[in-house]
Amino acid sequence: MTILLYDLVGRDTTRPFSPHCWKVAMALAHKGLAISTAPTRFLEVPAVESGVSKTVPVIRDGETVVADSFAIALYLDEAYPDRPTLFGGEGGKAMARFIERWSQLTIHPYVTTAAIIDLHAMQDEENAAYFRRSREQRLGKKLEDVVTARDAGLATFRAALEPLRSMLGYQPYIGGASPLFADYIVFGALQWARIATPYQLLDDSDVVAQWFARCLDLHGGLGRKAAAAA
Amino acid sequence: MTILLYDLVGRDTTRPFSPHCWKVAMALAHKGLAISTAPTRFLEVPAVESGVSKTVPVIRDGETVVADSFAIALYLDEAYPDRPTLFGGEGGKAMARFIERWSQLTIHPYVTTAAIIDLHAMQDEENAAYFRRSREQRLGKKLEDVVTARDAGLATFRAALEPLRSMLGYQPYIGGASPLFADYIVFGALQWARIATPYQLLDDSDVVAQWFARCLDLHGGLGRKAAAAA
């Protein structure tokens, strides 16, 4: 049976960009589950599965509908225990939450700063207007005034990745010898940036960039199926 | 059989202060293992177990000697698999390394800034001289010039704990419903500060402070057996 993923897109439906949807796409591939996607624009989210969630990802697996990327990963591990684990045990489940919070608070704000104009440009007219209105309200400034902090913030952003960089001196993945959902959490954030903006967040020589490249290669190069922004 | 822990102390041997030794003391209590401690001053470390390590903690368990707090925790879980796990599976082992790197890079530098004069004052004359010499060389400035950044850095330090603070909205411990070694990693850093300095790093109303208080209560209040600095 195929699992349906409601996946956030802009004008180009072949380049889904949501960090949270990417977490789930990678998790589904990790479990080896067949997938079909329903390309979903911002303004279509409230109608997904009769309004089950204010955000995507949402999945439908037969009669079961699950929203929220972390909840989906927990569901997949519970529903498909015979397939490769996404957490590597109860400790991994708990600590993946810490990594999610770290990624959300450390990486997401800077990706927003760096890519917000590009993300706006990816939307069709109606969705672009929604994106501008909702983001300007949330951030308290015009999109054009958000991106001005990009160059000045780059060094601080790269320095903030130091825990991940240091960890990669011990092991190739956050999950250890091989990737787990915790890797897909951080991957999702950087993939969001890769797809939205040509702005270079990481130096190529950075071990974090090398880890990200390894993640792009996973599951038949799934992450590379959406081209980087150019 | 009793496990021997070489535990870093200053003049007062009842107030061991090393963050890394506290990680191990908590891990041994978590496993329910009997322990004896060998109070060890900085200048005595090179002679511990015939110079096995440049740092403590070091443990001796019968014929086995292990150095490095993370390696000790891994050893304890492997040697005593029937006792409560410190990692909660392979995923937890891998992600605990991320949390160790985060703690080391986010919490330790500020505790050093905040407590370095107090740590110096805890040592006897000979060890104080060693501490001053080695730390001033490492930090590139006089101890008295390190601590001047304390007040100005406090808000940034507290903000840097936001991933932990946010995670505590989901679960009471980094390990989930109950503590794992990852909790003891972060606990060790804050216990180091608690024992060394009366300077208040956390606001009492902070959920991180409340989590730390829960950790102090664990294992018969082990962490409270060393009085806070006054």
Q: Rounded to whole angstroms, how far apart are CA atoms A210 and A172? A: 10
User: Which of these, B42, B38, B44, lies nearest to B10 by C-alpha position?
Assistant: B42
CA–CA distance, A111 with A107 (Å, rounded to integer): 6
Nearest to A88 among B91, B102, B174 (CB): B91
Q: What angle do CA B1, B5, B7 make, to 5 degrees?
A: 160
Between chains, do A102 and B182 touch, taking CB under 8 Å as contact? no
Residue type, B7: D
Among B89, B95, B166, beta carbon nearest to A174: B95
Q: Which domains does chain A have, with CATH numbers?
A: 3-79 (3.40.30.10), 90-223 (1.20.1050.10)
Q: Taking CB atoms and an 8 Å cutoff, what residues of chain B touch A164?
A: 98, 101
Per CB-CB distance under 8 Å, the chain B contacts of A183 are none
Q: What pLDDT is attached to residue A1?
A: 78
From chain A, the residues in CB contact with B93 under 8 A are 91, 176
Predicted local distance difference test score (pLDDT) of residue A40: 98
pLDDT in tens, B30-74: 999 999 999 999 999 999 999 999 999 999 999 999 999 999 999
Nearest by CB: B91 against A166, A167, A175: A175
Report CB contact under 8 Å: A176, B94.
Answer: yes
Q: In the prediction, which pLDDT does B86 show?
A: 98
| Interface list for chain B against chain A, based on CB atoms closer than 8 Å | 85, 87-99, 101-102, 104-106, 162-164, 166-167, 170-171, 173-177, 180, 182
Of the partner residues A90, A95, A105, the one whose CB lies closest to the CB of residue B99: A95
Q: Is the CB of residue B143 less than 8 Å from the CB of residue B136? A: yes
Q: What residues in B contact A88, CB-CB < 8 Å?
A: 89-92, 94
User: A156: distance to nearest CA of chain B, Å?
Assistant: 13
Q: What is the pLDDT of residue B1?
A: 78
Query: Which of B30, B87, B93, B98 to substitute to test the interface with A, most A CBs within 10 Å?
Result: B98
**Distance (Å) from the alpha carbon of A14 to chain B's nearest alpha carbon:** 33
Per-residue pLDDT of chain A (230 residues; tens, 9 = 90+): 799 999 999 999 999 999 999 999 999 999 999 999 999 999 999 999 999 999 999 999 999 999 999 999 999 999 999 999 999 999 999 999 999 999 999 999 999 999 999 999 999 999 999 999 999 999 999 999 999 999 999 999 999 999 999 999 999 999 999 999 999 999 999 999 999 999 999 999 999 999 999 999 999 999 999 999 99
> Are A90 and B95 an interchain contact pair (Cβ–Cβ within 8 Å)?
no
Helix, strand, or coil here: A205?
A: coil
Pick from B90, B99, B180: CB nearest A176: B90
Asked if A88 and B87 come within 8 Å (Cβ–Cβ), the reply is no
B56-93 burial, b for 16+ CB within 10 Å, e for fewer?
Answer: bbbbbbeeebbbbbbebbbbbbeebeeeebbbbbbbbb
Tally A–B CB contacts below 8 A: 123
Q: How far is B77 from chain A (nearest CA, A)?
A: 13
Does ipTM surpass 0.85 in this model?
yes
CB contact under 8 A, A102 and B102: yes
Q: What pLDDT score does A164 carry?
A: 98
CA A221, distance to chain mean position in Å, is: 16
Are B131 and B119 a contacting pair, CB within 8 Å? yes
User: Which residue in B has a C-alpha nearest to residue A168's C-alpha?
Assistant: B98
Place of tokens 């011990």: A170
Average pLDDT taken over every residue of chain B: 98
Residue B157 to chain A, least CA–CA distance (Å): 13
Distance from CA of A122 to the nearest CA of B (A): 30
- Segments in chain B forming alpha helices (H): 19-30, 69-79, 90-106, 108-121, 125-139, 143-146, 150-160, 162-167, 181-196, 207-221
